Structure 1
Amino acid sequence: MKSNTAAFFAETYGSDMPRITFISSPNRDARGSIIPDVIAQAKPKDFTVRRLLRQAEREGAELFFAPVPMSGEGMPSEAQAKDAAVIWADVDQDFTDEQWALIERLDATVNESGGVGRHHVFVPLDVPHPPHVIKELNQALRVALDGDAKQNPASFLRVPGSFNRKGEPVLCRTVRLSSSRQTLPSVRQALRTDASSASEYQRASVAVEDAVSAAETFRKYAGKTAPGLGGMSPRRLLDKANGRFAEGNYDGRHKLASGLTKDLLRIGLSQGEALGVLLECDAATDKWTPAQIAADVARVYSKEVPHQPDGGAESRGLSTSAGVSAEPGVTSADDGGDDVLTDAEDDMESAVSRMMAELLDSSAMDTQEDPEPLIDSWLFVDTVARIVGPPGSMKSFIAIDMSAHVGMGMPWRGNDVKKGPVIYLLAEGSKGAKKRKQAWEKHHRRRMENVLFLGRAIQVLGDEWDVFVEVCKRVKPVLVVLDTQSRITAGSDENSNDSTAFNRVDDIRKVTGACVFVVHHPPKDGKGGRGGSVWIGGLDTELWVEKKGKVATGDCIVTLENEKQKDEADGLKLQFSPKVIDLGVDEKGKRRTSVVLVNPDVGAIAASELSTIERVFRAIRDAQVPPTATEISKAVGIKNVRNYLGDLEKAGKIEAVGSPKRYKPA
């Protein structure tokens, strides 16, 4: 077992081993997900891995590693990923004959990650490559092997020699060990789909991967030009095109980009060399994806004839798009034959090529990224979400609490978050927000950092909204809170299905990729957001808040429920108790207070099940040895106590340990 493990790391990482992160998980949560804990960041040498395996075996823990070295301490993240010399895929099925042939062609390592039919596949590379290259190759390998979505550089993979304890413990072991390291071109060649059967998207994506860097092209063609280009080399043509785009001195971004492509073709650049230059052309990259740019370059090269030394540019009427002609516009005339395209036809043809490059077949769809959580299971980046509740239901307290945790990268109620800047638009209640912030800081004993507040209403239908969108674009937040919807949509008919207001809010998402989180009220006697259906139809997420009891009497419970989740499971619930925080006195000697939301007391979780909850908790508290769920059921005389255990865990009163799970007071 140990020599198998040592051989795996030696062959995967070679003699010059990087420091990688090892993660232990002695427990799983109520949903069966691991609860990770970083236990070491070290070079995976034999003695190090043997020590970690012994430690995991003693603790009954599962042992993982992040295959990419990280630049910082703590839990691995994509932002911290460094260059790596290995790609991988997680495959939960048996391999077909064709897939096994690919594994042998790549000389890949195969680990069984939890019994027959569960595999981790590794392909060692000859030199390290940047994280984005590793991720792209992981996606291609995953598609080829019908794998799961674990192409992220911060993935957790099982250490061979450890045990998968999700069910009955199963030893993870290496069943095929690589003996060579692959070059980047050889891997790309092996993973490339057959061009004759590939979709437009796949062909364009392959072209992007094979594009020659602009720097390399500039060195190769330094000083080279073609007749009619005013002596301009490829570098000068690109600089000229980018200058014209920046000045607005052009007649359509497509004409500028495709004309530059024609000029590069005239000099004699290959299609791959021209694409590398166009990937640095501002007129193209400002609007189109690399695959779309590749499709447009391919269209130009398929229609144009490369420059021949015996014919000048003028004799064929080719474009001088980079601006070398005397006229300010860009000409796009061809050779004057019957197949010459007018400007409008050429624009349409280019647009069709770009849209064709956006069409995805089933294999290409598999390479698309899954929704990225902002707060795991609750909010996601690049979405529009809304939290709805009656006045006084404490929805703004929840929004501020979420904002603080995201801004500071702190798990929210046990759920992982994506750390990043937050913009909070206080369109109402800005004075009260000051006390809420101070109460949060006092309770958590830290400053609320990375959260920016704007304390006035900005109307979505007003001119200043464009300024706000630009501010968001420059700050690059991961979360933008708009509190409240009614205060930023003055002048619009809330009950109409005019989508203008929603589209203006969605503009923030488009320019930032953030989660735009709107605070809203329900109708007087109903549940869900007030107003027309255009909002609920456009939302990715909608949360419902309800408060029962009074803060002053100590019986207040706030319930948050996930009512709508477009791409994930809905119906999740959390409960909170407001805790009064003393903020001292003001200048007049008057006591200042606010509240924060904390986990509720056991006795307040659900009044209708009070005695049952108490009995379950006491059975755990009074046991000499942490009991299992079955033992707890027998102690309290209830057939199924798992729901009560889940509530107690969410309330922070108990925790699960070991396998099988045993429960003890937190």
Structure 2
Amino acid sequence: MTEREPMGTLKEKASTDGDGRSLANPSDVAVRIYHSDDTAASACEPVMFEMAEENCMQSQGLIKGLLPESPLSLLVGESQTGKSGIAIEMAACVSSGFPFLGLEVSQTPVVYLVGEGSRDKFMNRVTAVRRRFETERRGQMQAAFLHGHFDLVRNVGSVVDAAYSCASALRGRYGKRAGLVIVDTLSSMSLGTPENTPEGMGAILAGLGRLSSSLDASVLALHHPALGNKKDGPKRLPRGHGSLYALCDACLYADGKVLSIVKTRDDDPSLVLGYKRRTVYLARSSTYVVDLDETAATAKPSNVSNDMKVYSELVGNPNYRNLREIAVRVGLAPGSVSNALGRLANEGYVRKTGEGKKARFEPLARVALPLAA
């Protein structure tokens, strides 16, 4: 376990509210929202240095090989596949420094915002994980969990205020700045916003960008997959406009048994983690926690589909559009690339112009992620 280096400087905030009450107790955050000013230090200030190897910024990510330090990462999965359980386990491991499903983490406090489902059921899951850490792992979770109604588009200021208050409470108690904010789920915090349009998704991305820059923290958003008929095709992409997938630095997919990497910029995309949900009985109810399942991982050694490879290359390399050039870049046969492009075009992720040798393919992603609103 290594301690996370700060991404930047977060402006200090007073640890008391207007009535002089201390915010050091995270339970205070759940009953009241404390307002912050809009003058938090920006993470966009230029850094000047010579291009020498010793000056290169090194980071293993929040979870080594899986979750980078990034303004936006995604965890995608259908309902009832354990997305929230995985995210809670991530929050517990990252905030305590305990390995996540066997992977090394960079310890940092975590703010977890949940906007859907029953508050009692969600807190039961958190309680089960906390008890396991206290008894089995002898660790301390440095995390704040807040359930409520949040809107990243129409009322992003209150979302930032709530997250900032949680981060201030964590800093007052542990003396460290929160380095990760988890949004559960993206759709519940953007109700009524047309996520399939560039304008709608642009507004959602602006809210996520403001959340990340205001707290100077990485953001992991939970989301549902796009509709599709192919299990290994476009269904693993996040639902909504293609700019969401194009602008995230990492996209993880949970299918109920395996957690795999759909997109990554620096890590190994073939990494696969098997997991299983284990029932835990509390005093008056039952819930589940997520455990490592090595048999599930070995049964499915790779799930990076041709569709994902082709789409990622189209988005990340805008200088070529010819089918054969794409095939060379992704290392697939032209026929496989052609089939993948056809499926992506049918699902609305790629636009085709021309026919035959003059055919060109364009990813439908045109919105830039604003780092500050």
What's the TM-score, normalizing by structure 1?
0.34
In proportion to residue count, which structure has more helix?
A: 1
Contact 1:423 1:480 in 2 (8 A): yes
Tell me the equivalent position of 2:369: none
1:433 equivalenced with 2:122 (yes/no): yes
User: How much does 1:601 deviate?
Assistant: 7.0
The residue type equivalent to 1:437 in the other structure is V
CA distance in 1, matches of 2:178, 2:66: 18
Give CA deviations for 1:239-273 in whole Å, capped at 9, x if unaligned: xxxxxxxxxxxxxxxxxxxxxxxxxxxxxxxxxxx
Contact preservation (8 Å) 1:439, 1:595:
yes
Correspondence 1:455 to 2:147: yes
Q: Deviations over 1:609-650 (max 9, x none)?
A: 9xxxxxxxxxxxxxxxxxxxxxxxxxxxxxxxxxxxxxxxxx
| Aligned equivalent of 1:510, options 204, 213, 224 | 213
> SS state of the match for residue 255, structure 2?
strand
- Flag the structure with more relative contact order, 1 or 2, with Cα contacts below 8 A and sequence separation at least 6: 2
Whether contact under 8 Å (1:424, 1:453) holds in the other structure is yes
| CA 1:607–1:501: 2 relative to 1, 3 Å | closer
Q: What SS does the corresponding residue of 1:492 show, helix, strand or coil? A: coil
- Partner-residue secondary structure (3-state), 2:79: coil
Q: Any idea what SS the aligned residue of 1:380 has? A: coil
CA contact (8 A) 2:164 2:215 kept: no
**Which one of 546, 552, 561 corresponds to residue 260 of structure 2?**
561
Would the alpha carbon gap of residues 506 and 599 (structure 1) be closer, same or farther in structure 2, given more than 3 Å must change? same
- Alignment CA distance shift 1:543-1:459 (3 Å): same
Residue 381 in structure 1 maps to residue 69 in structure 2: yes
1:408 and 2:96 correspond: yes
SS in 2 for 1:570: coil
Deviation per CA, 1:470-498, whole angstroms, max 9, x where unpaired? 43664531111100000111232110122
Quote how far apart the aligned CAs of 1:413 are: 1.9
Shift of 1:419: 1.3
How far is the alpha carbon of 1:462 from its aligned partner? 2.6
Taking the aligned partners of 1:565 and 1:605, their CA distance within structure 2 comes to 19
How far the C-alpha of 1:599 sits from its partner, in A, is 2.6
Which residue does 1:477 correspond to in 2?
Answer: 178
CA RMSD of aligned residues (A): 3.1
Offset, 1:421? 1.2
Instruction: Give the corresponding residue for 2:292.
Output: 599
Kindly indicate whether the alpha-carbon contact (under 8 Å) linking 2:2 and 2:97 is maintained by their aligned counterparts in 1. no
**Is the 2:272–2:297 contact (alpha carbons within 8 Å) kept by the matching residues of 1?**
no
1:496 counterpart letter in structure 2: T
- Structure 1 stretches lacking a partner, 5+ long: 1-74, 80-284, 293-356, 548-557, 587-591, 610-666
Q: Which of the numbers 188, 197, 203 marks the counterpart of 1:496?
A: 197
Tell me how far 1:533 sits from its aligned partner: 1.0
Separation in structure 2 between the aligned mates of residue 289 and residue 532 of structure 1, nearest angstrom: 26
Letter in 1 for 2:238: G
Question: What is the letter of the counterpart of residue 122 of structure 2?
Answer: A
Alignment partner, residue 222 of structure 1: none
Taking a change above 3 Å as real, the CA distance of residues 440 and 77 of structure 1, as seen in their structure-2 partners, is closer
Instruction: Give the Cα–Cα distance (whole angstroms) in 2 for the partners of residues 288 and 395 of structure 1.
Output: 29
Cα distance in 2 between the residues matched to 1:396 and 1:289: 31
> Does structure 2 conserve the Cα–Cα contact (< 8 Å) formed by 1:443 and 1:596?
no
Tell me, what secondary structure is at the counterpart of 1:581?
strand
How many Å apart are 1:572 and its aligned residue? Answer: 1.0
CA distance in 1 between partners of 2:81 and 2:219 (Å): 21
Q: Is the 8 A contact 2:3 2:108 kept in 1?
A: no
Cα offset for 1:386? 0.7
Partner-residue secondary structure (3-state), 1:396: helix
Higher deviation after alignment, 470-479 or 507-516: 470-479
Q: Tell me how far 1:76 sits from its aligned partner.
A: 7.2
Q: For 1:495 and 1:78, how far apart are their aligned partners in 2?
A: 35
Q: Say whether residues 1:487 and 2:181 are aligned partners.
A: no
Q: Which of 235, 242, 249 in structure 2 is aligned with 1:540?
A: 249
What secondary structure does 1:383 align onto?
Answer: coil
Q: What is the rounded CA distance, in whole Å, between the counterparts of 1:364 and 1:580 in structure 2?
A: 52
The answer to whether the 8 Å contact 2:116/2:188 transfers is: yes
- Given that 2:61 and 2:105 are in contact with CA atoms closer than 8 Å, whether structure 1 keeps it comes out as yes
Return 492-501 or 480-489, whichever deviates more: 492-501
Q: 1:539 to 1:466 in 2, by over 3 A?
A: same
1:337-378, Cα deviation, whole Å (9 max, x unpaired)? xxxxxxxxxxxxxxxxxxxx85x77x2587230344111111
CA distance change for structure 1 residues 454 and 411 in 2, over 3 Å: closer, same or farther? same
Separation in 2 of the partners of 1:425 and 1:433? 11
Count residues in correspondence.
Answer: 246
C-alpha separation between the residues in 2 aligned to 1:534 and 1:287? 24
Q: 1:601 to 1:537 in 2, by over 3 A?
A: closer
Structure 1 or 2, whichever has the larger Rg, is 1
TM-superposed deviation, 1:595: 1.4
1:287 to 1:501, Cα distance in 2 relative to 1, 3 A: closer
> What secondary structure does 2:267 align onto?
coil
Name the counterpart of 2:335. Answer: none
Note if contact 1:423-1:481 (Cα within 8 Å) is conserved in structure 2.
yes
After superposition, the Cα gap between the structure-2 partners of 1:607 and 1:528, relative to the gap in structure 1 and judged at 3 Å, is same
**Is the partner of 1:481 in helix, strand or coil?**
strand
Q: Report the Cα distance in structure 2 between the residues aligned to 1:439 and 1:470, rounded to whole angstroms.
A: 26
Match of 1:16 in 2: none
Other structure's SS at 1:397 match: helix
Distance in 2 (CA, whole Å) between partners of 1:78 and 1:423 is: 15
What is the distance in 1 between the residues matched to 2:186 and 2:72? Answer: 12
**Percentage identity across paired residues of the two chains:** 23
8 Å CA contact 2:62, 2:69 repeated in 1: yes
| Distance (Å, rounded) in 1 between the aligned partners of 2:43 and 2:116 | 39
How far is the alpha carbon of 1:428 from its aligned partner?
1.0
Verify: 1:424 aligned to 2:116, yes or no.
no
Q: 478-487 or 467-476, which moves further after superposition?
A: 467-476
Q: How many Å separate the matches in 2 of 1:581 and 1:373?
A: 30
**What's the CA shift for 1:379?**
1.1
Name stretches of at least 5 consecutive residues in structure 2 with no aligned partner.
Answer: 6-39, 172-176, 229-234, 302-373
Q: CA 1:531–1:384 in structure 2 vs 1: closer, same or farther (change >3 Å)?
A: same
In the alignment, residue 125 of structure 2 is paired with which amino acid? R
2:83 is the counterpart of 1:395: yes
Residues 553-589 of structure 1: CA distance to partner in whole angstroms, max 9, x if unpaired? xxxxx100011112322221100122111213x3xxx
Contact 1:559 1:573 in 2 (8 A): yes
8 Å CA contact retained: 1:473, 1:508? no
